[in-house]
């Protein structure tokens, strides 16, 4: 499929000209005569490169580029204007993430070469991101190999977290980072001995002190890998509690980054609906009751309520288990029903690691 380049200009003759210039290329050219039409296109389909004139009626090109940054973060942006003063150039580059600047009237060959260069940059970045996806997901699976009870946990946490992110209408770029952070939220556990991770008893104080180090260890790994602040925040703060009783920083309320509050809910829900060595799984009804009891204590009350509503909606529509199709409570079994859960919960001491 050819890469798409979107030109935005209020002058129809300009749009006709660029269409003719690129008619013999392997690029797919779309045009829009104002920012509103351009934003509609960006919402509907992937665009490799956005070329926007600055001085247009209504929303200016500069504001369009800024809006595109959150709406379509993968799109590479070019500012095109007849007034190339230093102030405009600096705002375009620093404030709107413009990668190139084209001055009107343009040289046709230069225009084609510039657009091709930017398209190639987009292709390289797209390939790198795909590689990152596979590498990061593989790392999450490697972490899970240390604990057979958590197989698939990171992927399920990501799916639950993205359900909430969609409901909160978070920007696409942030949702991508939430997916990565969900995959890697427990990456610090790679340094914890399996004898502690897989203990089928209540951990002693020294052992739990080791467990409590994993958010800092993981966050340091993410920082060294130059991952985004959103990913680092998820890894470091997903065990903070809304009432301030969590770790490692004892943050409370909205001092905890929203991305970490989202993943904390997803992590908690998946943990209590799957069997662990220290306790049995909760069935759906009891798991949701437990989530309700944690609102305003461990978990953000508003986002938890949103998540509970999403789960109820999915159950009514036949997909209560999230995007993976596995019903919550899949680890619930007859031994749990006979009371073993109560014994294992008491050994665990009531606190997730």
The C-alpha atoms of residue 335 and residue 3 are separated, in whole angstroms, by 56
The C-alpha atoms of residue 264 and residue 213 are separated, in whole angstroms, by 17
For the chain, how many helices (H) and strands (E)?
16, 5
CB 257 within 8 Å of CB 233: yes
CA atoms within 13 A of residue 79's CA, in its CB half-sphere: 27
Could you confirm whether 224 is annotated as catalytic? Answer: no
Helix (H, G, I), strand (E, B) or coil at 100: strand
CA 69, 71, 75, 78 torsion-angle sign: negative
Q: What are residue 61's DSSP bridge partners? A: none
CB 262 within 8 Å of CB 240: no
- The single residue of 146, 176, 189, 224 carrying the catalytic annotation is 189
The C-alpha atoms of residue 116 and residue 118 are separated, in whole angstroms, by 5
The C-alpha atoms of residue 272 and residue 239 are separated, in whole angstroms, by 15
The C-alpha atoms of residue 344 and residue 350 are separated, in whole angstroms, by 10
Q: In what order do the strands lie in the sheet with 28-32?
A: 28-32, 4-8, 49-53, 76-81, 98-103
CA atoms within 13 A of residue 274's CA, in its CB half-sphere: 20
CA 254, 256, 262, 264 torsion-angle sign: negative
CB 298 within 8 Å of CB 340: no
Q: What are residue 76's DSSP bridge partners? A: 49
Q: What are phi and psi of 233, to 5 degrees?
A: -60, -40
Residues designated as active site: 189
């Amino acid at each position: 499929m050819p890469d798409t380049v979107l030109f935005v200009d209020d002058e129809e003759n300009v749009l006709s000209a660029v269409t003719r210039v690129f008619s013999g290329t392997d690029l797919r050219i779309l045009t829009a005569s104002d920012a509103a039409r351009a934003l509609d296109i960006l919402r509907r389909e992937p665009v490799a490169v956005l070329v926007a004139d600055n001085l247009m009626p209504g929303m200016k090109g500069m504001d369009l580029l800024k809006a595109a940054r959150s709406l379509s973060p993968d799109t590479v942006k070019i500012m095109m204007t007849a007034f190339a003063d230093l102030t405009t150039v600096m705002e375009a580059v620093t404030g709107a993430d413009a990668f190139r600047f084209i001055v009107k009237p343009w040289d046709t060959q230069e225009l084609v070469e510039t657009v091709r260069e930017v398209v190639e940059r987009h292709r390289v970045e797209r390939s790198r991101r795909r590689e990152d996806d596979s590498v990061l997901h593989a790392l999450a699976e490697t972490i899970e190999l240390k604990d057979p009870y958590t197989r698939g946990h990171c992927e399920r946490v990501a799916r639950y977290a993205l359900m909430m992110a969609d409901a909160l209408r978070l920007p696409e770029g942030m949702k991508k980072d939430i997916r990565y952070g969900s995959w890697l939220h427990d990456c610090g556990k790679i340094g914890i001995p399996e004898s502690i991770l897989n203990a089928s008893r209540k951990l002693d104080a020294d052992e739990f002190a080791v467990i409590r180090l994993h958010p800092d260890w993981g966050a340091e790994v993410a920082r060294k890998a130059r991952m985004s602040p959103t990913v680092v925040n998820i890894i470091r703060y997903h065990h903070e509690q809304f009432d301030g009783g969590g770790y490692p920083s004892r943050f409370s309320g909205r001092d905890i980054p929203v991305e970490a509050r989202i993943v904390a809910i997803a992590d908690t829900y998946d943990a209590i609906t799957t069997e662990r060595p220290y306790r049995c799984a909760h069935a759906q009804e009891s798991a949701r009751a437990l989530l309700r009891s944690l609102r305003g204590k461990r978990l953000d009350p508003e986002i938890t309520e949103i998540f509970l509503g999403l789960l109820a909606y999915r159950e009514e529509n036949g997909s209560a288990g999230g995007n993976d199709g596995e019903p919550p409570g899949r680890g619930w079994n007859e031994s749990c029903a006979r009371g073993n859960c109560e014994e294992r919960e008491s050994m665990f001491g009531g606190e997730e690691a």
